[in-house]
Structure 1
Amino acid sequence: MAQGRKIGKIVAWFFAILALLIAVIVVVFLTFDWNRARPWVDDKVSQAIGRQFHITGDLKLGWARPPSETGWKRWVPWPRFTAQKITVANPDWAKQPYFATLDEIEFQVALLPLLAHDIVIPTINLVNPSIDLERLKDNRNNWTFKFQQSTEPSTWNLKLHDVAFAKGAIAVSDEITKADMQAVVDTLGQPVASAEAASEASAASAASAAAAASGAPANPASTSAGNSITTKNGPKPPVPPYGIGWTVKGTYNKTAVSGEGKVGGVLAIQDAERPFPVQADVRIGDTHIALVGTVTDPAHLAALDLRLWLQGVSMAHLYPITGVTLPETPPYATEGRLVGQFKKEGNVFKYENFTGRVGGSDINGSLVYAGRQPRPLLSGELVSHLLQFSDLAPIIGADSNASKAKRGEEKKQPSAKALPTEEFKTDRWKAIDTDVKFTGRRIIKDPDLPITDLYTHVVMKDGVLSLEPLKFGVAGGSLASNIHLDGSTTPLKGRVSTEARHLKLKQLFPNVKTMQSALGEVNGDAALSATGNSPATLAATSNGEVKALITDGTVSRLYMEAAGLNVANVVYEKLFGKRDVKINCAAADFVATNGVLESRVFALDTDDAVINMDGNVDLKTEEMDLAIHPHTKGFRVFSLRSPLYVKGTFKDPHVGVNAGALAVRGAAAVGLGLINPFAALIPLIAPSNNKPLPCQQMLADMRNAPSAPAAGQQQKAKAAPAYMSSDAAGASAPKAPAPASPSPASAAQYKGS
């Protein structure tokens, strides 16, 4: 009994002491000034993260019953920790003193799981968090921490269920991308029910915006949930809801930025298995970007799968944003799927099956961007089913000054200049390589003269741009060119060769009744080289040859007016009045020497006369100085006036009668169908079926292919053929009956470059 009483007293004293100890601990926990522990906490955290960490406000510990527990567990209180005025220092080189500041952090820890070494925190509440992100040109950044490495693995497991905050701020200063932006982030009042529902609403909004810009109706099918994006075949992994909303403003690469969007919750970033939802609507300068989709393993940026809308004034304005070199274009809007993979050897992005409009033209296709070394590569295939010819003008700076101002081009086209003076942006050509094939099914310049089957293969490598070939069908024939522009040198070196074959006269002029019985066609070649950084300077330094031959046709003043050939129209009326004239053959052979086009051969043979033209055109000053010499054949009833002259500039030409004589200096080929010899390259003159004296000689001469020297070298002079002399044309014309005309097929037999 005594032994039992002794044991009972010991047990009683044990529980009494335990109760007293618990009471003391509770009293200490409740009354202890935890601010005394701040130096110890600051020191431990600073050592762990390798940065100075400070709590300058109150550090508190309280107790509260867990709201989510049931049964007896809800009576076990959890400790609640609160810390105020927290700062995390930046590295010494940073602009701002703090990487992060926080007005308050508050969280509870489940008590019972601590017995199993599990730290369970249901929610961390952050009040007014602010983060400063900085990166220097040498790639040093302030978001990479040197965490203290432990020699032994921790026996404790952290389980954090949620992070909530209100009105967080993020500042970004990146010297590499020239980004200076401020973002405001906030947890949504309640998570969006599903990423698919949010995606549908966002997609519909973005599609409407893009459609409004392009003038096309929105396609409801493209915004339906049924078209949601998947990263793999088969069932999609579950997508968490949007948890955070954000807005941003500032500058990116010296361009104004503003936008808003939504992303998944903070903890969803750490889940590498579930797609992380993202949605954004951003304006960068005059470019509008909208996207919705998912990112895989966002903590390490493994992959992305988005629906992407792009809209802007010119595709060239995407260069400061993406680093991708694109040509100047009219306003555009596109929609497509963007999938990407982030790899050490280089990121790969695919803009798949996109559709859109550029100006009044449609555009479709797929592009692939590969971030390889030494330069990234943009490859793909594009198709336009209906291409407005005017939409190509900005590519070479041939659009209006109003269009230039809209797309941000500061230099205007001089009013007195016809050839585009806007310079190519060759500094961008070395930023990326390109291998893109483009097909235009139907090109509209004149509704009565559609151009079909345009095709070009655009290759750019190390600053050298080539279009080989650039070809299209027109009037039952074809035009094919090879263009080579070397932008790796200053000034740019250019080379072009062009071949025209079997252009049917009756299809060239479908509205001219007298031409519908013509069997003739146009054939021609050109070879030119030049140096310069704009179309105007290239023309001003061009060297080479341009040749053309026309057989079997009829020309009229009405045709001149319909074709818009103003100078040729005036010349025609002074020579022939208002009647139609049958042409047996016409030939043109121009030699370009340092930007001066010399008329080596320009002969037009009709039933009544042979007409020659000599002179030159200075492509640098755009001045013309031409003399046109008509020679009547024998005693035919045909009255011609004195020789004519064509002077002035491309923008202000003058045509008149030279009553003085035949001593007029030449300056370019403005024959019947030519108003701008360099731009047209191959004069489209009118033809006929009787070929008197010069025709066979001209045909034989045209068989010699044109040539051009290397860019920057001068073209060698070539003498004019004998039949171009005034005496030969006038004296020999009435002799003997006219020989048979060569057929259109034989007229096309000469081989060009």
Structure 2
Amino acid sequence: MVGRRAKRWLLWLGTPLLAVALLVVSWSWDWFIPLVEARASAAVGRPVHIEHLRVKLGHVSTVTAEGLRIGNPSGFPDDPPFAEVRRATVQVDVGAFLRSREIVIPSVELDRPVVHVIGRDDGSRNYEFDFAAPVGEGAEASKAPGPRLGALRINDGKARVAIAWLRSDFEVDVKTQDRDGQDPALVAEARGTYAGQSIEAQMTGGAILNLRDGREPWPIDLRLRNGDTTFALQGTVREPLKLRGADLRVEFAGKDMADLIPLTGVPFPKTPPFRLEGKADYAEGRVRLFDAEGKVGRSDIGGSLSVSTAGSRPDVTADLRSRSVDLADLGGLIGTQPGRANTPGQTPHQRAAQARAEANPKLLPNTPVNMPRLTAANVHLRYRAERIQGQGMPFDSLSAETDIVDGVVSLHPVSFGIGQGRLTANGTLTPQEGGGLRAKIEVELRRADLSRLLGTTGAGGAGTLGGVARLEGSGKSLSEILGRGNGEATVVTVGGNISSLLVDLSGLQFGNALLSALGIPARESIECLIGDFALQRGTLRHRTLLLDTDAHVVTGAGTLDLGREQLDLRLRTDPKQPTVASLPTPIRIGGTLKNPAIQPELGEAAARAGAAVGLGLLFPPLALLPTIQLGVGENGQCERLQAAGERRRQPAQAPEGARLR
């Protein structure tokens, strides 16, 4: 009886236990793959595939997915997929979920992940995701706290990045590196091409999952080379994904600052070799570089620069300064080859460009304006240079305030110091249909030291020079704008003296020429100097050209064709008191702006009348008088000469043959 009962209990208990044992033995978590794939595909908006799924239950359970693939969006090929992972292992704290419904993931480990990033010419890209909330979970679900993530480890990860509009195609090796007492650090190396140039980069950062943690600074050490440009970034960021709390040191170096455009989005001009370092952070929606110091060619440069990308185009604000600047280093701003033939550190390409510039018979820059670069960003620039270096340079200092908004360049103003005076330019450069710019520029010269201007020619002198000029023109380069321009220019001076060398050029006296050749100073006092010109369709024609000293009168006439850069100018000197030693032979200044030629014009010596006749014919109406007073203040001698000219002209016009040509 007892035996039969025991057999019956064994049968009742054994059958379910056998069923459970058989279920455990044959159980496969792969049965849940279709459900997991469906939920994941709906969440990322593209197909997700898993080959095998394993779960190890416990207080902290381990979920392992093998052969994980995330596909491309519609319109991209299935192979290769956007991402594939040989094995993904995730630990889940089940106890925390049961106690407080909190999702805690102590660790995630990815073995051999591979990502393919593609951006096509038509703007389509495979790395944009449309993350949807799970079915039945709307706004309430979005308010729920996210999972608490622990360490993320990546073993032998790779990425391939090919973005057409960036002209980039490079590979990245990604892994994590264990650290004592800390979560694994992110380490990456890249190589390939970016912006059509070779790129190499190495980066060491903090823990990947700490990118969202603002409680402690996230360290970063980045070294990058793109073509001839090197970039280094080192420091910490407290909130990396928001670029807040940065304490970073930045270093740039390269052969041409224009190479920084694809790296920064800032439309830098062409420059000689440069080096720049400073601090960087992110504040008020702007990436800032401040406390910067460096060199561009032979010039030092420092200050601050900030960039905002919130609008339709980047907005750049720069406040820069130089203690000493070589204007040749800024040549890229007006279309010339920047730097000089002996600027250190230049590439063979830059030296060849310098040689071509030297061989070019034209002086005015004829490089077309790069309109896409001009409209690439809105720029607000303030620049100060305390000293301008270079032999023969008439300028002492430079200040500029310039805005570029929607491609329109506003100068307000650009100003050069000349002794105690200044040369100031205000105006606008407006983009035109079909390319090119429409220029409206006004220039004012106030109380410039004549000694600074004449010193660049090897001559000496003293006095004050002033004047005004106006230019309107259009073209694709500075040469075209001037070669098609209209306007006028007037310069006047008062008082002071002038070296005999200057009057020697117009054939004054043998004695003065001898003294100049020996280096013995011989000066004449300036009574009046006036140059008044009209610009019509690129040709600058004289209206008045006169230098009156205490002993001589130099008169001149001629044209300057700015389009062809051809000079045709004649000067004649007459002594106020004729002497046996005087030789009033006119001279002709011809040739080009880059290579002028000076020679006596003996055939016309007898055809010219004296200074009184020339003076009577050359002076224009009294409308010139306000310009004289604007530039240098009242000049009684210039006014008296002008009045005398008017009196001589009123009774009768001189014969046409007597006009100074």
Q: In which range does the TM-score fall when normalised by the shorter chain?
A: 0.7 to 0.9
Q: Select 2:491's aligned residue among 548, 551, 555.
A: 548
Q: Select 2:579's aligned residue among 636, 652, 658.
A: 636
How far does the alpha carbon of each residue in 1:699-722 deviate from its partner, in whole angstroms, 9 at most, with x for none? 96743449xxxxxxxxxxxxxx76
Q: Is the 8 A contact 1:244 1:263 kept in 2?
A: yes
Give the drift of 1:285. 3.3
Q: Does 1:271 align with 2:213?
A: yes
Q: Distance in 2 between matches of 1:301 and 1:448?
A: 45
Residue of structure 2 equivalent to 1:128: 112
Residue of structure 2 equivalent to 1:703: 625
Q: Select 2:46's aligned residue among 31, 46, 51.
A: 51
Change (3 A) 1:468 1:637: farther
Give the drift of 1:268. 1.6
Q: Is the 8 A contact 2:507 2:573 kept in 1?
A: no
Q: Distance in 1 between matches of 2:387 and 2:615?
A: 41
The one-letter code of the counterpart of 1:471 is: S
TM-score (norm 2): 0.77
Residue of structure 2 equivalent to 1:73: none
Change (3 A) 1:28 1:118: farther
Q: Select 1:392's aligned residue among 321, 326, 330.
A: 330
Q: Is the 8 A contact 1:492 1:532 kept in 2?
A: yes
Partner secondary structure for residue 639 of structure 1: coil
1:239-638 pair list within 5 angstroms: 243-295=185-237, 297-298=239-240, 306-340=248-282, 347-399=285-337, 405-406=349-350, 412-413=356-357, 415-446=360-391, 451-452=396-397, 454-489=398-433, 490-506=435-451, 518=462, 520-556=463-499, 577-579=513-515, 580-584=522-526, 585-638=528-581
How far does the alpha carbon of each residue in 1:17-68 deviate from its partner, in whole angstroms, 9 at most, with x for none? 59984x9757754665665665565455445544333234x555668xxxxx
Change (3 A) 1:372 1:142: closer
Give the drift of 1:642. 3.1
Residue of structure 2 equivalent to 1:232: none
Q: Is the 8 A contact 2:425 2:442 kept in 1?
A: yes
Partner secondary structure for residue 603 of structure 2: coil
Give the drift of 1:551. 3.4
Give the drift of 1:378. 2.0
Q: Distance in 2 between matches of 1:504 and 1:300?
A: 54
Residue of structure 2 equivalent to 1:657: 600
Give the drift of 1:128. 0.7
Q: Distance in 2 between matches of 1:43 and 1:372?
A: 37
Q: Distance in 2 between matches of 1:93 and 1:605?
A: 81
Partner secondary structure for residue 258 of structure 2: helix
Q: Distance in 2 between matches of 1:401 and 1:635?
A: 48
The one-letter code of the counterpart of 2:50 is: I
Partner secondary structure for residue 387 of structure 2: strand
Change (3 A) 1:569 1:79: farther
Give the drift of 1:245. 0.5
The one-letter code of the counterpart of 2:134 is: Q
Q: Does 1:162 align with 2:151?
A: yes
Change (3 A) 1:311 1:27: farther
How far does the alpha carbon of each residue in 1:422-451 deviate from its partner, in whole angstroms, 9 at most, with x for none? 222233222222222222222223489661
Give the drift of 1:654. 2.6
Q: Distance in 1 between matches of 2:123 and 2:97?
A: 45
The one-letter code of the counterpart of 2:210 is: A
- Count of residue pairs brought into register by the alignment: 606
The one-letter code of the counterpart of 2:110 is: L
Partner secondary structure for residue 267 of structure 1: helix
Q: Select 1:91's aligned residue among 46, 55, 73.
A: 73
Q: Distance in 2 between matches of 1:18 and 1:324?
A: 78
Q: Is the 8 A contact 2:187 2:205 kept in 1?
A: yes
How far does the alpha carbon of each residue in 1:483-521 deviate from its partner, in whole angstroms, 9 at most, with x for none? 3212345331112222222223456567999968x5x32
Q: Select 1:100's aligned residue among 77, 83, 87.
A: 83
TM-score (norm 1): 0.69
Segment of structure 1 superposing worse, 577-586 or 33-42: 33-42
How far does the alpha carbon of each residue in 1:610-652 deviate from its partner, in whole angstroms, 9 at most, with x for none? 2222121211111122222233434334421532222222233
Give the drift of 1:185. 0.5
How far does the alpha carbon of each residue in 1:246-267 deviate from its partner, in whole angstroms, 9 at most, with x for none? 0123344444432111222232
Give the drift of 1:295. 4.3
Q: Is the 8 A contact 1:139 1:176 kept in 2?
A: no
Q: Is the 8 A contact 1:411 1:422 kept in 2?
A: no
How far does the alpha carbon of each residue in 1:722-752 deviate from its partner, in whole angstroms, 9 at most, with x for none? 6899989xx9xxxxxxxxxxxxxxxxxxxxx
Q: Distance in 1 between matches of 2:28 and 2:437?
A: 76
Give the drift of 1:121. 5.1
Change (3 A) 1:176 1:17: farther
Q: Is the 8 A contact 1:328 1:394 kept in 2?
A: yes
Change (3 A) 1:297 1:408: farther
Q: Distance in 1 between matches of 2:457 and 2:126?
A: 72
Q: Distance in 2 between matches of 1:551 and 1:591?
A: 22
Residue of structure 1 equivalent to 2:632: none
Change (3 A) 1:432 1:28: same
Partner secondary structure for residue 703 of structure 1: helix
How far does the alpha carbon of each residue in 1:643-669 deviate from its partner, in whole angstroms, 9 at most, with x for none? 22222222333322223226999xxxx
Q: Is the 8 A contact 2:41 2:47 kept in 1?
A: yes
Change (3 A) 1:435 1:83: closer
The one-letter code of the counterpart of 1:163 is: L
Partner secondary structure for residue 393 of structure 1: helix
The one-letter code of the counterpart of 2:625 is: R
Q: Distance in 2 between matches of 1:532 and 1:450?
A: 27
Q: Distance in 1 between matches of 2:315 and 2:352?
A: 27
Q: Distance in 2 between matches of 1:30 and 1:573?
A: 119
Q: Distance in 2 between matches of 1:467 and 1:693?
A: 38
Change (3 A) 1:292 1:650: same
Q: Distance in 2 between matches of 1:42 and 1:570?
A: 92
Q: Is the 8 A contact 2:574 2:584 kept in 1?
A: no
How far does the alpha carbon of each residue in 1:533-583 deviate from its partner, in whole angstroms, 9 at most, with x for none? 2221122112222222233344446x66xxxxxxx9855689852333514
Give the drift of 1:351. 2.2
Q: Distance in 2 between matches of 1:252 and 1:513?
A: 50
The one-letter code of the counterpart of 1:264 is: G
CA RMSD of aligned residues (A): 4.6
Segment of structure 1 superposing worse, 522-531 or 129-138: 129-138
